Structure 1
Amino acid sequence: MNITRILEMAISAGDRVAVTAGGRSLTATGLLHLAGAAAHRFRDHPAVLYLGANHLAYPVALFGAALANVPFVPLNYRLGDHQLDDLLARHPGALVLRSDDLDALCAPADAAEPTGPPPAPAGEGDGDAVAALLYTSGTTSAPKAAVLRHRHLLAYVLNTLDFASAGEDEAALVALPPYHIAGMANLLTNIYTGRRVVYMAAFDAGEWLETVRRERITHTLLVPTMLSRIVAEVRGDDAGTPTLRTLAYGGARTPRPILERALQVFPGVGFVNAYGLTETASSVAVLGPGDHRKSLASDDPQVRARLGSVGRALPGIEFQIRADDGTPAGPGETGLVFVRGEQISGEYGGRSVLDADGWFATRDRGRLDAGGYLFIEGRADDTIIRGGENIAPAEIEDVLLAHPGIAEAAVLGLPDPEWGQRLVAVVVGAGDPAEIRQWVKDRLRSAKTPDTVVFRAELPKTDTGKILRRVLLAELETAHA
């Protein structure tokens, strides 16, 4: 089955408005019509590269590529020329859609008189065909093209949601960039449920709040950086967004103070923490609204701690925690996180990295508590080995973020002749380094106390809020040398 089957189903349930962007809207029928016209243009190319911001042309191009049975490849249009040239060179002969091409793709005239043989009927594609190639964020290494087949995306949608379950008044605001897996998954899931998708071309906290009010938004998804800026924009204890019902966040770790403030300024809103990777075709675990409120109100330390988890596995998903020697870890024991399910791709350029039993190594370190709640402690690549002890930066970062003078923090390991690695905390904020080190020592212990505290105006991040540790590490190593 092809992902365009979702459009056919949406039309059969009543042709609602499917997407809104730049003051213009398309129904599911209108979207399918434009996608069909685009498919005639796409079918002679090996791939379609989308190099632009959120736009009405994004869903047209995605479904058009699906109808033409060619991979859709959204690229980060904010990259420098050298990085973009490298990515473009990986796709010889591909059709590149740049910002100047997007309006024409949505022009009604383009869909009026398509020429040549029609594309295959919507939904009748090979489920094993490649639907999209999405480049990973590259926080610790160079970006890789994750292969997502139609069956992966459809498994995520069909296993986790009820068809046509949204009310006619529901609308989802999407401010995430189109080259992120969450942007693609949001489009598919909202069309499937019947919820209108409203796109923001670029994120601005004040404009986000105004758009929620103007468009009567009921659902949204944000990354922690966006949520932090929105919370800072709110004056008083109420954001003034009465239609908003659900606010999902994910893509990176969210500092607890920001989350607690968000819960305060969005009263009555259900918060959802979604955990997933590009290779897993979006979310694989969710901490739902009930868990948020229950954790925040509980006096039980174990229940309250779950506010820092990413929740439990979605239907059709299994988790396994493995020790460094590959043996299964018990409840509460930290190890490497593996995931298995129909929606898991685990494939790069035709090469699968799933093990013999279908498990995908997320390269995250984490633990499962007795209730099945998953706690992510950071990337395995980030683990610091100091004096033979494995140290997760996330644990130290959480303590640093609780310091009143620190807004952001990243802990890294630099080579040390005595200890193997020494701990360096790079922070955004103000304070006395010795006092900050003592703050950590009082709450953890000497072995986890940063040897050095470095102040920085800001931390380098991806557009989805993930800290670019390899950039920081390169700067620190150069300075250390």
Structure 2
Amino acid sequence: MDLRAGDRVALLVPGSPAYPRLVVALLRHGVFPVPMDPSLTSHERARLLADLEPTLVIDDPGGVDSLLAEVPAASGPPLGRPIHVTSGTTGRPKGVWSGLLGPADAAALAAEERDLWDFGPGDVNLVLSPLHHSAPLRFATGTLLAGGRVVVGEPPGFDPARVTAAIASERPTTMFCVPAHLQRLFAHWDDVGVPDLSCFRLVAHAGAACPPSLKQRLVELFPDASTWEFYGSTEGQFTACRSEEWQQRPGTVGRARPGRTISVDDDGTIWCVVPSFARFSYLDAPEKTAAAWRETDAGPAFTVGDLGRMDEDGYVYLDGRREDLVISGGVNVYPAEVEAVLTEADGVLDVAVFGVDDDRWGQRVCAAVVGSASPDALEAFARERLAPAKRPKQYYRLEELPRTATGKVRRLDLPGLVG
């Protein structure tokens, strides 16, 4: 293997069973995989690769197996995290860099995930999402490091029938998903019947707001105490929450993970103090790195601009992202708050709220809706539940919302789709 510690390897290939094994093998040598979306256009690839400056680019699926065969066998924990590229839904994508870790920090990094999710040699992780995203890759590599097995059910796209078959044949014990996966799985199971889910000990979801009715069905279908939600980002992890806690405190995403301290500014910005092994910078973007971090009495804290609140017991509730903020007539409107209301209306399967330019108000609040609900019915529903500034002024019906592979709405695409 003609690679050295600190080198970067761009992975522009679909997920496969070898993919997470290669990630672990490289990181054990201090070589940093850069997982990237294989569907990027040539223009997007060229721009990102110029920024990331990888030593090696793998853009052929066979290259994963070939490189894996060349990597010398090694044991021990990964010496860092993969360099994930942020999704770019709110701006130019940025590489998130953890640095090359020393032995103590490397061991702590591996132990944190293992201890939180209780990964062990008997685990079988079913992968539903593309492995170039941080959460599914983190669950897969955590499983491998604990001696477990990974089943990749993602390529060439999420298929609820294929996932259902994999549950029956592979009997997975863990699964990470996003609410969009659950919606499609449950709709499929309504048609064909619910499979035997008793094999699962852990089903974790994140990546987008989960409608309460969907979450409740998740809890009802899967084994007791097996379902979790967590709140995090490409940059780092904030909270973890058992569904039983959510049932007691509807809307919460949980309390700070072990080893972290969360605080919320007067303006609602969420900050998180993390251990040394969980710190990061943005590659070649010192001004963005500086904006993301600040010193506190508890240590360095970072933010990704998310807004929320925290109750007296430390439970966090999200209100939205600052980049999603709609300012209409001088009033701040947070799409997440409006979406949480509209998603409970009859005939709404999915909804995304966004702002469009308005000569009078600066921006006006609009909603893209998937489902059969009429604009009149939605207006009446919102009138009962939302203050005037928060009520969408226009409703647009779409067959589906534009989403990233991890289920996040590409909110900046919506004005062009409905205009």
* TM-score for the superposition, normalised by structure 1: 0.76
Looking at structure 1, the residues matched to 255 and 53 of structure 2 have their Cα atoms a distance apart, in angstroms, of 42
Letter in 2 for 1:57: A
Deviation by residue 1:352-405 (Cα, 9 ceiling, x = unmatched): 332133111221011111221111111111112222221111111112111111
Pairwise CA distance, 1:320: 0.8
Cα contact 1:284–1:314 (8 A) shared by 2: yes
Q: 1:320-469 maps to which residues of 2 (within 5 A)?
A: 320-324=263-267, 335-342=268-275, 343-350=277-284, 351=286, 352-353=289-290, 354-357=293-296, 358-469=300-411
Looking at structure 1, the residues matched to 400 and 125 of structure 2 have their Cα atoms a distance apart, in angstroms, of 30
Deviation by residue 1:91-112 (Cα, 9 ceiling, x = unmatched): 44631122342464278xx45x
- SS of alignment partner, residue 137 of structure 2: helix
Residue in 2 that maps onto 1:21:
none
Letter in 1 for 2:313: G
Cα contact 1:53–1:99 (8 A) shared by 2: no
Residue in 2 that maps onto 1:308:
251
Change (3 A) 1:153 1:378: farther
Which range moves more in the overlay, 41-50 or 225-234?
A: 41-50
1:195 aligned onto 2:151: no
Looking at structure 1, the residues matched to 265 and 93 of structure 2 have their Cα atoms a distance apart, in angstroms, of 25
Looking at structure 2, the residues matched to 164 and 263 of structure 1 have their Cα atoms a distance apart, in angstroms, of 18
Looking at structure 1, the residues matched to 4 and 45 of structure 2 have their Cα atoms a distance apart, in angstroms, of 24
Pairwise CA distance, 1:450: 1.1
Residue in 1 that maps onto 2:205:
249
- SS of alignment partner, residue 406 of structure 2: coil
Change (3 A) 1:438 1:75: same
Looking at structure 1, the residues matched to 207 and 106 of structure 2 have their Cα atoms a distance apart, in angstroms, of 18
**Identity across the alignment (%):** 29
Looking at structure 2, the residues matched to 371 and 124 of structure 1 have their Cα atoms a distance apart, in angstroms, of 34
Residue among 59, 83, 88 paired with 1:138: 88
Cα contact 2:225–2:242 (8 A) shared by 1: no
Residue in 1 that maps onto 2:135:
182
Residue in 2 that maps onto 1:284:
238
Looking at structure 2, the residues matched to 347 and 314 of structure 1 have their Cα atoms a distance apart, in angstroms, of 21
Looking at structure 2, the residues matched to 250 and 464 of structure 1 have their Cα atoms a distance apart, in angstroms, of 9
Residue in 1 that maps onto 2:18:
57
Looking at structure 2, the residues matched to 464 and 164 of structure 1 have their Cα atoms a distance apart, in angstroms, of 20
Residue among 123, 138, 144 paired with 1:170: 123
Letter in 2 for 1:401: T
Change (3 A) 1:468 1:71: same
Residue in 1 that maps onto 2:220:
264
Cα contact 1:50–1:74 (8 A) shared by 2: yes
1:232 aligned onto 2:187: yes
- SS of alignment partner, residue 86 of structure 1: helix
Looking at structure 2, the residues matched to 124 and 365 of structure 1 have their Cα atoms a distance apart, in angstroms, of 34
What RMSD, in angstroms, separates the aligned Cα atoms of the two structures? 2.8
Change (3 A) 1:158 1:461: same
Gaps of 5+ in 1: 1-39, 296-302, 325-334
Letter in 1 for 2:9: V
Cα contact 2:26–2:33 (8 A) shared by 1: yes
Which range moves more in the overlay, 249-258 or 190-199?
A: 190-199
Q: 1:47-196 maps to which residues of 2 (within 5 A)?
A: 47-92=8-53, 94-102=55-63, 104-105=65-66, 110=69, 122-123=75-76, 131-151=81-101, 155-162=108-115, 169-196=122-149
Residue in 1 that maps onto 2:162:
207
Letter in 2 for 1:178: L
Residue in 1 that maps onto 2:261:
318
Looking at structure 1, the residues matched to 117 and 329 of structure 2 have their Cα atoms a distance apart, in angstroms, of 56
Deviation by residue 1:2-45 (Cα, 9 ceiling, x = unmatched): xxxxxxxxxxxxxxxxxxxxxxxxxxxxxxxxxxxxxx143499
Pairwise CA distance, 1:242: 2.2
Letter in 1 for 2:281: E
Looking at structure 2, the residues matched to 184 and 321 of structure 1 have their Cα atoms a distance apart, in angstroms, of 29
Change (3 A) 1:414 1:91: closer
Residue in 2 that maps onto 1:9:
none
Change (3 A) 1:465 1:170: same
Which range moves more in the overlay, 59-68 or 131-140?
A: 59-68
Letter in 1 for 2:274: G
Change (3 A) 1:464 1:103: closer
Pairwise CA distance, 1:219: 1.2
Pairwise CA distance, 1:286: 0.7
- SS of alignment partner, residue 466 of structure 1: coil
Looking at structure 2, the residues matched to 223 and 387 of structure 1 have their Cα atoms a distance apart, in angstroms, of 34
Cα contact 1:60–1:106 (8 A) shared by 2: no
Looking at structure 1, the residues matched to 170 and 343 of structure 2 have their Cα atoms a distance apart, in angstroms, of 35
Pairwise CA distance, 1:153: 6.8
Change (3 A) 1:146 1:106: closer
Pairwise CA distance, 1:196: 2.4
